[in-house]
Amino acid sequence: MDGNFHHRHRRSAGDCPLFYDPVYFLPKSQVNDVGQRIDTARKWPLRQCNMSVPDEAIDQCENSYEAANGKKQKAAMESFDDTGIMALICHHDIPLFFANIDTPGEQQKYSVALTEHLFSLIPLEANVVILYDVGCVLARSLMKYDILSPNLTSRIQFTTTAMHAYGHEWACQLIYNPRIIKGLGLSDGEGMERLWSRFIRLIGIEHSSLHQCRIWLIDRHAASVAKDMVIDLSDWLRHHLKKGIQEQASATQEVLDQCELDVSELWKQWSNQRATQLSTRAYAPAWLKKELNIVLALQTELDGSERALQGVRVIVEKGPASQCSLDALASLEHGHDWLLHKVDTLYSLLNIQDRFLELDGMSFEFVQTLLLT
């Protein structure tokens, strides 16, 4: 599953009366209904769920990818009324369904609508693996919000595509990289890129076509591509069986033999590594930095108060001081003590010793200095 923002339609090109009922495109009303359901679900409190990947890691993935950013292409909407298309293909790279993107960015309603439509056509017992550039972000949304029924979400396994996986956080890759997930073998999910290469020559025509003509053009070309790929399916299977299973299995076994370690020991070490790198403590700097911002701001005020207090004390100690000077000194000391107490209180609320057992028993001053430096 993937979106492509090159297949746009200029607003100035206009439209024409409806003359064709698309075979591959989902109706606009169906996609919009899913979008309204998502908006409604997001207004409710988050579900309590145990995430395999720390939220901090997925947040960084979401910020890194254009597909996850629904606000990134708002400028394009001034010139284009359709900003792209999103497609769902099968494991053999044959196109199944399309959704027309007419909003800024690759909003989740398109991927959810395509997924839901697929499940409406397959057996109730069928499980589906979905390879998507930002599969980690979509998986988290479906877990935390009541967007799809539990019956559907329990039958979906999300992964990223192999090429895009390496742009994700390592903790995310441990769960969503198809090269690591058991059962996916050498499935890379890059069939979408191969499909888009078959649609390149349509891009220029689509920009200036009438709206309905653009949909007709993409839909008919998809039908032609699908027909050719079904005819060539036996060659596709033969190629993957030979180049994938046989050759790669031999190469993998050769690497294991050269390693000179027992496979069970390798699995044990790998399990320990995953457990460590998937821990929220591995992403502690991300959330600690956020929570320490207030403490750091108060610490800056505290340092300024300390300097002012020292200056007034020097003046008072040099000679007879007026009552105003003494009152100012007392006021500064009171304000300084209040700031010091507030910094200590906020720091204690971070609960550092419980989150980092290695720091248990160390003095407050040492831990505070360690985190603030």
Taking only the tens place, the pLDDT of each residue in 65-94 is 765 455 555 546 778 999 999 999 999 999
* 34-43, 82-91, 124-133, 164-173: the lowest-pLDDT one: 164-173
Amino acid 224: pLDDT: 96
pLDDT tens, position by position, 267-316: 899 899 888 888 766 665 555 656 666 767 777 787 888 888 888 777 77
Residue 246 has pLDDT above 70, yes or no: yes
Q: What average pLDDT does the structure give for the chain?
A: 84
Helix residue spans in 198-322 (DSSP H): 203-208, 211-231, 233-240, 247-259, 263-277, 284-318
Higher pLDDT, 62 or 155: 155
Q: Does 48 lie in the same domain as 178?
A: yes
In Å, what is the CA distance from 280 to each residue of 174, 270, 356?
Answer: 14, 18, 11
Residue 351 has pLDDT above 80, yes or no: no
Amino acid 66: pLDDT: 60
Q: Does 293 lie in the same domain as 150?
A: no
* 28-37, 209-218, 255-264: the lowest-pLDDT one: 255-264
| Mean of pLDDT values over 201-229 | 95
Residue 271 domain flag: no
Residue 232 has pLDDT above 70, yes or no: yes
Residue 33 has pLDDT above 70, yes or no: yes
Amino acid 275: pLDDT: 86
CA atoms lying within 13 Å on the CB side of residue 99: 29
Residue 348 domain flag: yes
Q: How many domains does the chain have?
A: 2
Contact between 189 and 159 (Cβ < 8 Å): yes
Residue 191 domain flag: yes
- Picking from 203, 231, 259, the residue at the C-terminal end of a domain is 231
Amino acid 326: pLDDT: 75
Tell me which range, 52-61, 148-157, 257-266, 318-327, is most confidently predicted by mean pLDDT.
Answer: 148-157
Amino acid 263: pLDDT: 85
Number of residues assigned to the chain:
373
The alpha carbon of 80 is separated from its chain's Cα centroid by a whole number of angstroms, namely 26
Residue 295 domain flag: yes
Residue 206 has pLDDT above 90, yes or no: yes
Higher pLDDT, 216 or 319: 216
Give the range of the structural domain holding residue 310, as residue numbers without chain letter.
Answer: 281-372
Residue 150 has pLDDT above 60, yes or no: yes
Residue 239 domain flag: no
pTM, whole model, 2 decimals? 0.74
Greatest CA separation for the chain: 102
Amino acid 359: pLDDT: 61
Q: Strand ranges (DSSP E) for 132-192?
A: 156-159
Higher pLDDT, 14 or 283: 14
- Picking from 209, 231, 253, the residue at the C-terminal end of a domain is 231
Which pLDDT band, with edges at 50, 70 and 90, does 360 fall under? low
Contact between 111 and 87 (Cβ < 8 Å): no
Q: Does 48 lie in the same domain as 170?
A: yes
Q: Does 335 lie in the same domain as 224?
A: no
